Structure 1
Amino acid sequence: MSDPIDWVSLSGRRAKGKRPEYFEDPALDRLYSTVFGLAAEVSALRERQDTIERLLETNGVLRREDIESYEPDREAGEERGLATRAYVSRIMRGFQQHVEAMEADDPPIMDVVERLSRE
């Protein structure tokens, strides 16, 4: 049997190069990194749960080997794709609303700026 994988050690590995910074406060970058990491884990769990549900429905029993080797057919893949897109949309909705407000032809803050500049 091969050596066990040291997942804790592997999780501490760092990518080469400087970590990208998106916000002035590095704590925000770390927070968003954590949130999106958790979102990815939840997404993976949702797919695994879907696999388990489909196998139970089809076979009535579960074996870990069946779960690990499961490959969704086209219909299941499309359903998963739609579910994942809806999930990501829900997570990103706050960001999307912010972008929409910035891109609006008449964002509220611009009304104030225009009024002040005329006075």
Structure 2
Amino acid sequence: MSINLALETASAKPAGKRPYFLDREVERVLAITMATVQELAVARQRVDTLERLLEAKGVLTRDEIDAFRPDADQAAERGLWMQEYLARVLRIVQQEGEAIAADARGDVRSEDVAVEITAGA
């Protein structure tokens, strides 16, 4: 997956305004934290499963896993994954930046049109 595709995927969002139930800045930090927590929990479970299966089948020991050092291609692949991961985690910051840029350009938002139509009815 390319970084551009990752950014497009990470920026997918539902239509309408984002509801804020707490202070806007608190919610931003909370959204980033929870995205990270979710990613970490899934990764931890998968790593644990792999390590247990590999060790149970006598393929690798956990010490061998700990001693692994990636080659240049593997390191590059990990680097791309990290960029995609950060794009997902920081999605809220990107979306808020896009909203500010849209406002600066004078783009009409669908929720503003809905309010205008409702007010005129």
* TM-score for both structures, normalised by structure 1: 0.45
TM-score by length of 2: 0.45
